[in-house]
Structure 1
Amino acid sequence: MSIISWNCRGIAAAPTISELYNLCKKVKPLIGYFRVWQPSFPKAKETLAGAYGSRFTWYSNPRNNFVTRERLDRVLVNWKWLSLHQNVVLKAAPAISLDHCALILETQPKLWIKKEFRFEAFWTEHEECKEVIRRSWQQHDGNRNCWNQFIRKRGRCIRELTEWSRRKFKRADKEIEKKKNEQLQIQKSDMTDRDKKREKELKNQINDLWKQEEKYWGQRSRLKWLKWGDKNTAFFHATTIQRRMRNRIDKLKDEARHWIQGEADIMRLVETHFAKLFTSEGDRNMEDCLKHIPMRVTSKMNDDLMAKIKDEEIKEAVFGMGSLKAPGPDGLNGLFF
């Protein structure tokens, strides 16, 4: 879906009508908003300030060979709307017949990406989680190689945790709404003893779901200064959306200073860049250079570095990392260990 917003004076002029016709023909907007206004948003809560295509949205007429350029036009949304359209893109069309640029808001369809495994913080609230981990990890494999055994146990543990989570938990927000509706129906009834007992159960279940939802979004917000337990779910959710938008790469500039867009082209550019960066060229004989560098690592220091790693050192390193930090792409964070 595309939306066009244009702060246009003199919209009835022939050049403006022609520009508007060509713009609508190209974009095919579902909604068009056109108005002569003075930009002032004293009550605005959120702003999509970034505009692709141009840094500015208003250009003055040349005066003494000088053109004033400003960013006057904005698109304002709230977090509820932004949570529904997380892949929104704001573009600024060139100013041709008027001094203001037309803003084009494209709500791109949500891209379904394969969900990577992540050890969830709210799993630790259930005793079954420990049992699933213990049962999957204690199964013996015929392979005698310790590293291969670890790889197999880790893969089996991830699979069983995923299946257990799929059976045990459902989406917290949907379950909360379902239980709220059930509670509302009970409160509208005659409230028998059975209904009172069920209402108490629903309240406890809703509180547990609130905690689950808060931990879910708190883990994804990656905030260290704010802890769980203060009902900050909405804040964690908004922070996660903001971080995802900030980390999203929509385009990159290549060596010829041309903008590259599209996921496939961006991936190809990144792959080419790093392949070239880590490919050696020319003479690789560094002996003439290294012989002039004094020795800094003694034999004793080298023996200490090459010594066998102890179990205590591994435990100290693993337990010293953050509880939500995963040392690898497997998604097993400090809480798991």
Structure 2
Amino acid sequence: MEEDYWRHHSSANWLTQGDSNTAFFHAFANGQRRKCAITNLTTDSGITVDEHELQAHIYDFYRSLMGARGEPSLFLLSPSMWHTIRHVSDEENNNLMLTFSGEDMDKVLASMKTNTAPGPDGFPVFLFKSFWHLTRPLIFAIANGFALGRVDIARLNLGVLSPFPKVVSGCP
């Protein structure tokens, strides 16, 4: 019963204080960050605790794992993994490499249900349909950039798109 009491009490605190820029929110966020922080790693040279050495070690590990451009990849598939019937033909490959047309994107958006739940980005379909005339060129350029291999995928996690503020300035 005591655990239920505190669980409900914490929910009430979160509902009243947690979704604002309050001390409660910052304490909660910092607690989560400390809980998930990597404070030390055991490397070939011993235990690393310095923050810059940790960052360098993690960066080097994933860079060597995934391979940088121009370097041979550590991951290879056996040529005999798939039967030759299942290989992509040159014609199929050319069709896969076609870019998107504006009409294709318009048809896809028009065919989407407007009253569905928001996607992983948090934006509902209604928002995209309402502001399609403004967002169409940007989304079109990004989609075709992916198709043509011109989008630097490594930089995707560096940017955040926030076109609308969650709370109007000056209002709680």
Band the TM-score falls in, shorter-chain normalisation: 0.3 to 0.5
Higher-RCO chain (CA-CA 8 Å, sequence separation at least 6): 1
TM norm structure 2: 0.39
TM norm structure 1: 0.23
More strand by share: 1
More helix by share: 2
